[in-house]
Amino acid sequence: MRSLGTRRVAQAAGAAMVAVIALGGCSAGQVAETAILKAPISGLDTQSPDGTLLVRNLQVVYNSPEGYPAGGNAPIQVSLFNQTEQPMTVLISSRPPAEGGGETAVSARQVGVGPLRAGGAEPSEPAEPSAEPSGAPSADPSAAPDPSASASAAPAGSAAQPARFTIAPLSSQTFLPGDTEMLQAIGLSGRLAPGYSLALTIEVSTSATPLEVLAPFAIPTSPASRGPAAEGEGEGGH
């Protein structure tokens, strides 16, 4: 027969085990809020009217709180996915925003692919907004630009070429910050800064209906640094 002290120790150990199991059961079905939070993505996700081209994370690359001046150039970030089993010719241009686009939407004289250029220097070739793909797939896909040379064919230091390229079947074309060749808006019609957007027209050879979009200005990945003036104000408040 167990003594009174032995029974009490056993009961206390059992109670502790039940408490541990109860706590484990309560936490098993819970997920911390921080585990389901997603990083903010400022880019636009959309697709062509017929769904053959997917557009992901379309946005103007962030440079500073001041943005890009009127007449200047702005790099564009985007990933394009050809959902068909045939080569797809893509033409990206810019037109004045449609009515209702708001005062914060600007356009560009030309959208080109080439080495990143600062300022608003004139391109060596005029914009070709009329050179748009036909509504039906091209009868001779070999006449389209080689997809492997679409974004990297221009030699270093050359002016941007009109943004017309081909995406291979079930493949993609991506333009990212830091790439040697960038997709860029040339000759902005107005200041393009945080809170503003860029009016773009995306046309594909598989669809007769162009896609009109507003590319938002990217969100900075880190907070703006505080200048000496701001720091002085903070110290003076003590």
> Rounded to an integer, what distance in angstroms lies between the CA atom of residue 232 and that of residue 94?
44
Confidence of residue 212 (pLDDT cuts 50, 70, 90): very high
Q: What is the mean pLDDT of the chain?
A: 74
Residue type at 210 in one-letter notation: P
> Rounded to an integer, what distance in angstroms lies between the CA atom of residue 2 and that of residue 186?
90
Q: Using one digit for the tens of pLDDT, what is the confidence trace for 116-126?
A: 865 544 444 44
Model pLDDT, residue 41: 63
Model pLDDT, residue 105: 92
Average pLDDT over residues 143-154: 38
Burial status of residue 5 (CB atoms within 10 A of its CB: 0-12, 13-18, 19 or more): exposed
Model pLDDT, residue 93: 96
Query: Nearest-CA neighbor of 131 among 96, 75, 92, 166?
Result: 92
Residue 183 pLDDT greater than 50, yes or no: yes
Give the percent of the chain with pLDDT over 70: 56
> Rounded to an integer, what distance in angstroms lies between the CA atom of residue 107 and that of residue 95?
6
Q: DSSP assignment, residue 218?
A: P
Q: Using one digit for the tens of pLDDT, what is the confidence trace for 13-57?
A: 555 554 544 444 454 445 454 444 444 567 999 999 999 999 999
* Higher local confidence (pLDDT), 2 or 147: 2
**Whole-prediction pTM value?**
0.64
7: tokens are: 């029974």
Number of other residues whose CB lies within 10 A of the CB of residue 189: 18
- Domains of the chain plus CATH, in order, are 44-216 (2.60.40.1890)
* Higher local confidence (pLDDT), 72 or 137: 72
Query: Nearest-CA neighbor of 189 among 203, 177, 200, 176?
Result: 200
> Rounded to an integer, what distance in angstroms lies between the CA atom of residue 71 and that of residue 52?
34
Residue 224 pLDDT greater than 70, yes or no: no
> Rounded to an integer, what distance in angstroms lies between the CA atom of residue 74 and that of residue 76?
7
Model pLDDT, residue 138: 42
